[in-house]
Structures are given as C-alpha cells and as structure tokens.
Structure 1
Amino acid sequence: MAIFAVTYGYTGSSDAERDAHRPAHKDFLAGLHRSGRLRVSGPVDGGTGALLVLEGGSAQEIAGVLDADPFHVAGLVGDRTIREWSIVFGALA
C-alpha cells in the first residue's frame, strides 16, 4: 500500500454549510481512521482547507473513498489534490 497526501480547498463562504455537515464529516473520517486507511488529518490555512494522509492502492482508489465524504457530497470541497507521498523519515514512514 502507498501513502497519499490529499489537500482540500473549501468553496468560498461555505463556513455555515461546513458547520452543518461537520459532525457527519468527522464521523466519516473517524471511520477511515479506525480502519487504518486515514493516518492523520486536520484543517489548514485557518480552516479554508484540510490536509489528509491516507493509505491506499492508487490515487483513483483514494478519490473513490473520499467521494463519500459528506463535505464532498455537499459540494463544499472546491479543490482536491491527491498525490502519492514517499515518506523517508518520521512516524508515518
């Protein structure tokens, strides 16, 4: 399995909508974390986006998994990048 760094950029002025969907979003991510697929995640840039580090077989597989994220389903993720990440040092290596 490979490691993938995923960035989310949220759609402009979606704070209220994200607040409404945040419990389902967090439950979704918690499930991925319990399964071992999601290694770490959290907001970046003052909450305008997020960084997620996941394990999977391919970028396409990760995209398919994240398509079910309630933030994505609700159209709150404007930009999403998925990049394979070769970790050399650290706890995630």
Structure 2
Amino acid sequence: MATFAVTYTYAEDSARARDEHRPKHKEFLESQFNAGRLRVSGPFGPDGAPGALLVFEAESADELAALLDQDPFHRADLIAERTIRDWQIFFGGVK
C-alpha cells in the first residue's frame, strides 16, 4: 500500500455549485475515511486558488484515480485540476 498526496484545484466560479454538492462530497470522503483509505483531507486557506489537499492510501495511482472519479465534485465538473502524487513520508505519519 502506498501513500498519495492529492490536490484539487476547484473550477473557476464554482463556489455555489460546490455548496450544492458539498453534502454528497463529504459523504463520499467520509466513506473513504471510514474504510481506511483517506487519512486526512481539507480545503486550502483563502490565499491562492481555491482547492484542497487529500492524503490517501492505495495500491496504485490508477486505482486511486478511478476511486476519485466517483467523487461528486468530480462528477459535477467542479474540479479544474487534480494531481495524484506518490508521497514518501519521512517524519510523522498519517497511518
């Protein structure tokens, strides 16, 4: 199992639609947290482009991408850019 850092950059002018879809998005993330796949997540602060950081455990980046394609924010085209990067933790941990 590998650890992946995922970043979302939200689509421009999507705040209202994100508010609409947020309950289902949070349910999706909660289900991944309860299953032990999502370790930590949250939105970035007000500086810079709106987005979020999520840390997942998965077998591969492709497997994680397929899972994240089910996120209601993704399905509603509210994510302009998504990155998935293998993350090598040296100190601390999210396990």
User: What's the TM-score, normalizing by structure 1?
Assistant: 0.96
**Aligned residue identity for 2:66:** G
**Aligned residue identity for 1:74:** A
Which blocks of at least 5 consecutive residues in structure 1 are unaligned? none
Q: Separation in 1 of the partners of 2:27 and 2:8?
A: 17
1:17-36 to 2 correspondences below 5 Å? 17-36=17-36
1:54-93 to 2 correspondences below 5 Å? 54-92=56-94
Task: State the 4+ residue runs in structure 1 displaced beyond 2 angstroms.
Answer: none
Task: Name the stretch that deviates more: 78-87 or 43-52.
Answer: 43-52
**Aligned residue identity for 1:51:** L
> How much has 1:92 moved relative to structure 2?
1.9
How many residue pairs get matched?
93
Secondary structure of 1:88's counterpart equals coil
Q: Separation in 1 of the partners of 2:7 and 2:45?
A: 11
Secondary structure of 2:91's counterpart equals coil
Instruction: Say whether the 8 Å CA contact 2:40–2:94 is kept in structure 1.
Output: no
Q: Separation in 1 of the partners of 2:44 and 2:82?
A: 13
Which blocks of at least 5 consecutive residues in structure 2 are unaligned? none
> How much has 1:7 moved relative to structure 2?
0.1
**Aligned residue identity for 1:27:** E
The one-character-per-residue Cα deviations of 1:44-75 (angstroms, maximum 9, x if unpaired) are 14271000000001110110000000000000
Instruction: Say whether the 8 Å CA contact 2:8–2:80 is kept in structure 1.
Output: yes
Structure 1 vs Structure 2: percent identity of aligned residues?
56
**Aligned residue identity for 1:67:** D
> How much has 1:34 moved relative to structure 2?
0.1
